[in-house]
Amino acid sequence: MNVFNRYIIKNLLLATVFITATLSAVIILTQSLRFLELIIESGADTKTFWLLTFLALPRFWEVIIPIALMIATTFTYNRLKDTSELVIMRGTGFSPLKIARPAILLGLFFTTALWGITLWGTPQSLNYLQKLKQIVSSQFSVMLLHENVFNRIGKDFIVYVQKRDSNGSLSGVVIHDQSQDAPSTILAKHGQLSEQDGNYQVIVYDGSRQVFDAENNVLQRLNFERYIIDLPLTQEIKKRWKEPDERSLEELLHPNPNVLRDVEHTQKFKVELHRRLCAPLLALAFTLIAASSLILGPVRRHQTNWRTFYIIIGSVMIQGMFIGVYNYAQNNATGIIAMYAVPLLPIIASIYLLSPIGEKSRRKLLYTTAEAQS
């Protein structure tokens, strides 16, 4: 790789990483607000909050990275044009394809990285994200008993704790249990919250269990030194049907024929598989659109703003078309072909115009008669 390629790739890479990091920070902020209510209600710790937030990122990278590449390519080649470096490169015999080579190499690198994200990273993160949300909703409310508050756990238990230590020791415990036919109330001086294999218990000491016998109108009381109460999860963790974007390649290729919902969503599984293959190509398409728009044609500084505008409009249109054909493919198999066509057509067209075989075409399209003859 010569000095020119290293110089351009360095600038493109730094700009892409910076823009990706900036956009990711914005996504983290928006996603943190999304999970904030869940964390507050469940009482989960800060570590769980940030884990939920970062697990949502890979799916957004599928959109962020192509946009970051487009902006970085536009910025870098615009600066080359403004400092006349692009004119010097052309004057020394650099072909348009050679000038665009650093951007193409970086686009191919990030396209490959995105294939890794879409085919493996995103499904894994989304699947774990949904499981973690279930665990947070069901378990943390049990583990976190607030002091001087009547904590409702499930439908049948209300627990009051006068004081709780960091090690789980409880003082002044009141538990109202409605899980049996005859509701009971347990009073204890102190206790301990414990968890074993996902089952939660409160072990209380030096107290009494009171049950009101409505049939005989008698209050029964049992004093104890040690008593164990099993607490339910606030929400039962059920086996959840996995959405198409959470499934591995194996699960998409071979859905379970014994599960009716899998059979009904066979087309969606197929579309999701092709989306994972097509979406990364947008990174290369956006890069080539930006590079070819700024490299090809006569160098006129007053046209730079218009070319940047065309790059943005073109990228937005392609992204919108991709989303449209993806939704169309959910119910129509021909939409899958269109999903490949949306990114591949601009890639092929840009490479053709940048290559030597496209010289006649680009002269007709981009130059006036006088400029083409000069």
**Looking at the structure, do residues 35 and 118 belong to the same domain, yes or no?**
yes
What type of residue is 373?
Q
Q: Which of 231, 261, 290 is the last residue of a domain?
A: 231
Dist CA 312 CA 10 (whole Å) = 23
Tell me the pLDDT tens digit for each residue of 176-218.
888 777 788 989 988 887 766 656 778 889 999 888 777 777 7
Whether 15 shows a pLDDT value over 90: the answer reads yes
Closest of 15, 21, 24 to residue 106, by C-alpha: 15
**Position 215 in a domain:** yes
Q: Are residue 21 and residue 66 in the same domain, yes or no?
A: yes
Same domain membership, residue 261 and residue 344? yes
* Whole-structure pTM value: 0.77
pLDDT of residue 195: 67
Give domain status of residue 150, yes or no. no
Q: Containing domain of residue 281, as a range?
A: 3-140+241-373
Quick one: 189 and 113 in the same domain?
no
Q: Is residue 109 part of a domain?
A: yes
Task: Give the separation between CA 297 and CA 362, rounded to whole angstroms.
Answer: 7
Q: Measure CA 370 to chain center.
A: 51
| Number of helical H runs and strand E runs in the chain | 14, 6
Is 126 a domain residue?
yes
pLDDT at 83 over 90: no
What tens digit of pLDDT does each residue of 308-353 get? 889 999 999 999 999 999 999 998 989 999 999 999 999 999 999 9
What is the predicted pLDDT for the residue at 91? 74
- Amino acid at the residue 268: K
Same domain, 264 and 183: no
User: Helix, strand or coil for residue 182?
Assistant: coil
DSSP at 168: S
Same domain, yes or no: 33 and 89: yes
pLDDT for res 370: 39
Q: What is the pLDDT of residues 285-306, one digit of tens each?
A: 999 999 999 888 776 655 567 8
The angle at the Cα of 155, spanning 152 to 156, to the nearest 5 degrees, equals 85
Q: Which of 201, 231, 261 is the last residue before a domain boundary?
A: 231
Whether 27 is covered by a domain: the verdict is yes
259 and 135, same domain (yes or no):
yes
Q: Is position 276 within any domain?
A: yes
User: Which of 207, 231, 255 finishes a domain?
Assistant: 231
Report which residue type is found at 68. Answer: A
Task: Name the residue among 133, 107, 121 with its Cα closest to residue 58.
Answer: 121
What secondary structure letter does DSSP report for 302?
G
Compute the distance between CA of residue 349 and CA of residue 153 in angstroms, rounded to an integer.
62
